[in-house]
């Protein structure tokens, strides 16, 4: 294995991690902003008011995007395992 190959594998793994975390983080960000605006407008400062909607939104996004996320992880893992013999020698 060359250093370039290791860097390429690492870059692909980090890109996959960003792709998989992106929808979840974006949903949490949007829900947090909406709840934050609501709290600022109504001056309600309840911590569970932000936690429960974020949890529901993340569960909903995971239910919708979960199969795609699992497919992406499986494709990456299968490609890694299939390339091992070529990388070793």
Residues 6+ apart with CB under 8 A from 19: 72
Q: Is residue 4 part of a domain?
A: no
Phi, psi dihedrals of residue 6, rounded to the nearest 5°: -65, -45
User: CA-based angle 21:25:29, to the nearest 5?
Assistant: 170
Q: Is residue 70 part of a domain?
A: yes
Residue carrying the six token digits 């939104």: 57
Q: Is residue 44 part of a domain?
A: yes
**pLDDT digits over 17-69, tens only?**
999 999 999 999 999 999 999 988 888 888 778 889 999 999 999 999 999 99
Report pLDDT for 49. 82
Q: Is residue 58 part of a domain?
A: yes
Residue 37, domain extent: 23-84
Using alpha carbons only, how large is the chain's radius of gyration in Å? Answer: 19
Structural domain count, the chain: 1
**pLDDT digits over 6-19, tens only?**
999 999 999 999 99
Q: Is residue 32 part of a domain?
A: yes
Q: Is residue 11 part of a domain?
A: no
């Amino acid at each position: 294995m060359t250093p370039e190959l290791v860097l390429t594998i690492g870059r692909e793994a980090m890109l996959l991690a960003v792709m998989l975390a992106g929808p979840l983080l974006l949903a949490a960000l949007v829900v947090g902003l909406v709840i934050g605006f609501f709290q600022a407008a109504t001056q309600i400062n309840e911590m569970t008011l932000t936690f429960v909607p974020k949890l529901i939104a993340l569960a909903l996004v995971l239910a919708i995007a979960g199969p795609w996320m699992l497919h992406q992880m499986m494709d990456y893992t299968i490609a890694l395992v299939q390339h091992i013999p070529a990388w070793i020698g």
